[in-house]
Each structure stands twice: as structure tokens, then as C-alpha cells.
Amino acid sequence: MSNLFSSDAFLLAAAEVCHPGERADVVTVAVAGQRFRLLRTNGKIRTELPYYDFVEPESEPGEATHRLPFLPTVVVDNVPIEGWEAVAAARRLQPSPWIDWRKVSCWDEYVRQRRQLASRAFGSEKKVRRLERGVGPVRFEFAAADRSLIDRCAAWKSEQYRKTGVIDMFASGRVVRLFHNMFDAGALVVSALHAGDRPIAIHLGALQNEKFYAWVPAYDVEANAYSPGSLLLEWMLHESHQRGHREYDFLIGGEAYKFYYATDVRLIGSIGAPSVATRVWKRTRDRIVAGVRRQTGIYTALQRAKRWYLQKRLP
């Protein structure tokens, strides 16, 4: 199994909520000379699933039982943190920053290096003292047993999505059930930061093959002044290192904070060749979008309609 998004735990949980009642299994598929583990339901390969970031090629020897001409989000390269932007821009690839804990011999040295590179990294001590004075005693759980934290995290994240104008993935009850199903299977790690008598930041993550996946972070906006999200992140990083994980993966996204801590960057792109119809549609869509963007009011209205449509299509 190459990563979280190739695991039985994720794929079968996604099948249960996205394709209920269908016969589901995990198959090995060949694309452009590489092999990947993908979901199949009722005989059809599924690559559009909620919170599905990217797959990695299988490294162990084996045979593929199916073939596909194209996959849109695959790890195509891995580079050190230094100079990743030039490589990504030249090849039009998306970044997925991660920490290789095997490069970190000592936690204190790691903290010192990160602070030199980014002044905003690891300022936890002062933030904790402020939080304790303002709210109450602070408590951290790396793997909480309280499943109600999943719903609290989903509600906070949903509010964040709506405020920032992006698609609200948690508008669908089935997406929430995906995380509950993974929790029931022991495949979801629910981390929480508490202050006083309540949680103020929650994270839904996963651990597969000694790799920790930072997946869904959210926090209580009423505690925003105390930087609860960054506090929870830095405690999670310390715990991941102490537990001997091999990696801490921030997943797809170029958010600045990820690069404060990362040592490496996976570069995500497509492999194979999309169908002629897909290529024609993409070129046509890009031309239309480029023209509409010049009409600000129309573009804003279309973006709003697109978000509404995509949320209605959520499983």
C-alpha cells in the first residue's frame, strides 16, 4: 500500500458513503507503466472521492488487473524544500509539503533550524501562557477517543469554507460519515487542543505505514486571538516525532505555514493521456474562463453558481 488514499480503510469507507449498495473492492491498475491501488464499485474504477488528494505508485512487485489511460493527481516527483517553486512552476505541478523525520536526529535542533528559516515557527510557549491566562488550563490529546469531536471539527470547517467562499465539503452528511466510518475502523486520528473546559482546535488525520497525514484542521473562531490552530499543529508535530513516525505529510496545498516546517515537497500532477474529448473540453473551458474573468460581475456570479452546483453533487 503506497499511501492513505490507496488504503483499504479510506477507499472502502468512501465506497460505503459515496456508492452505497454497490459491490466494492480495491484493485491494482496500470497507468503509464506504473501501478496504483484504486477503488472499484460495480465494475467501475472510481477516482473522484471526497477528501481524496493523490496516489503514489506501488513500489512492491506485482501485477495490475486493470488499465487506465490517465490519472489526474499522482506523485510525479519529490524534491527538497529548497528551490521547489522553480521545479513546480516549470512543470506546472502542485506542491504537497512533508517532513522526513529520518532527516531529524534531534527535536531541539529541528526547532532551532525551523525558527531560523521562519520566524513564525515554534512560538508555542508564549502562546500557551496567554491562552492559560485568557481561557484556562491547556490540554492536548494526540489521539482522542471522543467521536463527537469529529462533528465539532466538521462544523468549524464548514463555517470556514462558507466564509472563504470555497466549496463546503461538509455540506454533505455523507462526507461527515466518511470520517466517522474511518474512526470506527481505527483509521482516523482525532487530535484536539482544549483550553478550560472546551476544545478550541481539532484535527482529523490518519496514520498509515508510520506516515502521519495532516488532513482536516479546524478551530473555534472565538479563540482566534490565541492562534489555536498553530498551537495544535506544533504539538502534533512534536508528538509525531516522539512516536517515531517516518513522515508528517501536509498533503496538497501551497499554504505558507506548511513550508515553515517541511523538509521536502512532493510534486503532484497527471500521468498518461486524457481522452480527446477531455482535452478539447479543457481547452474550450480555459478560453471561456479567460474571457469571463474580464467581466468581474459575471465571473463572480458564475463562481457562486459553480459552488452551489458542486455542493449539490457532493455524495
Single pTM value for the model = 0.87
Residue type at 229 in one-letter notation: G
Half-sphere exposure of 243 toward its Cβ, with a 13 Å CA cutoff? Answer: 17
Kindly tell me if the per-residue pLDDT of 308 is higher than 90.
Answer: no
pLDDT, tens digit, 9 for 90 and up, residues 247-267 = 999 999 999 999 999 999 999
- The enclosing H or E element of 178 equals helix 173-184
Instruction: State whether residue 188 is helix, strand or coil.
Output: coil
Strand 94-100's sheet: what is its strand order? 70-80, 264-272, 94-100, 247-249, 211-219, 198-208, 189-195, 138-141
Q: Given this model, what pLDDT does residue 36 score?
A: 96
The Cα–Cα gap between 277 and 100 comes to: 40
pLDDT, tens digit, 9 for 90 and up, residues 91-146 = 999 999 999 999 998 999 999 999 888 878 887 778 889 999 999 999 999 999 99
What b/e readout covers 282-306, taking b as 16+ CB neighbours within 10 angstroms? eeeeeeeeeeeeeeeeeeeeeeeee
